Chains A and B, each alone.
Chain A
Amino acid sequence: MERRLERMAARGWLLERATSWGWTYRRAEPGEARYTVAYFPAASVFDSGPTDEQRTYADYCQAAGWELAAANGPLQFFRSTRPNPTPIDTDEATKLDTVRRTMRKSLLLPYGLLLAIWSLNLFTRLDDFRRRPLSLLSSNSSLALLALLAFLVVYLAAVLVDYGVWAARSRRRVAEGGRCLPTHSRARLAGGAVGLGLAGLMLLAFFTELSTPGGRLILLYTFGGMALIIGLSQGLMALLKKRGASRGAVRGWFFAACVLLAVVYSAGMLPLAGVLGGSGLLREGQPAEVYTDSRGWTWDIYRDDLPVTLEQLGFSVTGADHCTYTAEESRSILLTDRQYVQRAMARDSQLPELSYRVVEIPWGWLRGLVLRQ
């Protein structure tokens, strides 16, 4: 991070603000500037402004020639224009202790929680797959989502393990009088890039699959809703910070808003799916006719092509039965799953319901796997 900031400074860009979403710079004379990134565990992302302790800390640094360029929670960015400034941390043991205290709050806690939640999600999906493999294998979006989830779980675990190893090794080094080890920032960036790629693929899969107007609406609700939740909660936090609210107030309101929005969002999904499902907007194509029976109930009658029908099996089917023929297809890169149903909608019909499924699996290895289920 420091080298990147120093390169920018050489080109005339000085760090102005640092947030979780990115850094902003301001234009200045190109020149030499040294940057140090230091950790101040007592600071929090929920602070409206620097606390008294933080100011004292900044004062000490200023006396040593370091000006506070920007801060993002416990992460402090210092800049110095002196040629050989006193390093901010001159004792490795103290520095390591500071870093570890910071990481406990800003790495172990959030990453640990995310790992736990996503592992649970992944486990649930895998369990679901074990019981009904076809519903996952026939959907590109489900496959992509599973891949993304699996990657994220592995990535989070890797980051946590990597930190643990770094902390243990650094502790040993420092106890012997050496210095802390450097961190693997490049590997993290690469991991992040892969994650984004998988996420993009997943979105693409979702988009192509849910191509009905109803499907598009669900997509809009799902992803638009998530973006809205993030935007609203971040906006609330920014507003409270601008008003100078206390750390506890900012944190409290932020979490309350997140929980409330999440509940509303989740609750809204059920009626939405229900309404869309009932309205037929999720089905491709229109019903061939609508049959209203003696009690006034309406049924949609479809006339899709079925490879095998009741008529072929020897049953006598008449118009009075009001049979509906439905063919539903689920296609993914791995297989195609077609479910056929022929059902008589008339109440007094004697015909049985015919339902069967045809699965096309172009991959030999997969065939054996699925057949075993």
Chain B
Amino acid sequence: MAREKFQTLTEQMFYILLCLRRECCGVDIMDEAARMTGGQVVIGPGTLYSLLDSFLTQGFIRETGVEGRRRSYCITPAGERRLEEEYRRLLRQAGDYEARREGETQ
């Protein structure tokens, strides 16, 4: 299940990794993602916890510090690569859409 889990990143997975390009505390990720997307992408606390755990196991993120109970995380090079892959996939998708649309208007 772990391998195929991250074949395609869901929106929530994508934004968690995106937020963690800068060192961020777990609690703040929820607000950050909502702010970044204007409330479109909402990450629930339970989902956040599970995904952070999975990302840690997969090596996409690492724990950078613990202040009492506040844990901070940061993305790893492996995570960066995965994020980049997903970005390119999205670009390709958008490109296909635009190409199709352009083809239709001509």
**New A-B pairs, 10, CB < 8 Å, besides A56-B26, A88-B44:** A57-B49, A59-B69, A59-B70, A63-B27, A64-B30, A90-B42, A90-B44, A91-B50, A97-B1, A98-B50
Q: Beta-carbon contacts of B57-78 to A below 8 Å, as 1s and 0s?
A: 0000000000001110000000
Closest Cβ of chain B to A174, distance in Å, is 11
Contact call A56/B50, Cβ cutoff below 8 A: no
The complex places the Cα of A89 from the Cα of B49 at a distance, in Å, of 10
Contact call A87/B49, Cβ cutoff below 8 A: no
A76 to chain B: closest residue by CB: B46
Q: How many A-B residue pairs have CB under 8 A?
A: 65
The complex places the Cα of A118 from the Cα of B62 at a distance, in Å, of 47
17 A/B residue pairs, CB under 8 Å, sorted by A: A59-B70, A60-B30, A60-B45, A60-B49, A63-B30, A63-B45, A66-B45, A86-B44, A86-B45, A88-B44, A88-B47, A89-B44, A89-B47, A91-B12, A91-B44, A94-B51, A97-B50
Where chain A touches its partner, the secondary structure class is helix
A305: B residues at CB distance < 8 A? none
* B18 interfacial by beta-carbon distance below 8 Å: no
B residues 1-41 with Cβ under 8 Å of A?
1, 10, 12, 26-27, 30-31
Closest Cβ of chain B to A29, distance in Å, is 26
Contact call A95/B69, Cβ cutoff below 8 A: no
Closest Cβ of chain B to A82, distance in Å, is 13
Contact call B49/A90, Cβ cutoff below 8 A: no
* A176 interfacial by beta-carbon distance below 8 Å: no
Q: Beta-carbon contacts of A302-334 to B below 8 Å, as 1s and 0s?
A: 000000000000000000000000000000000
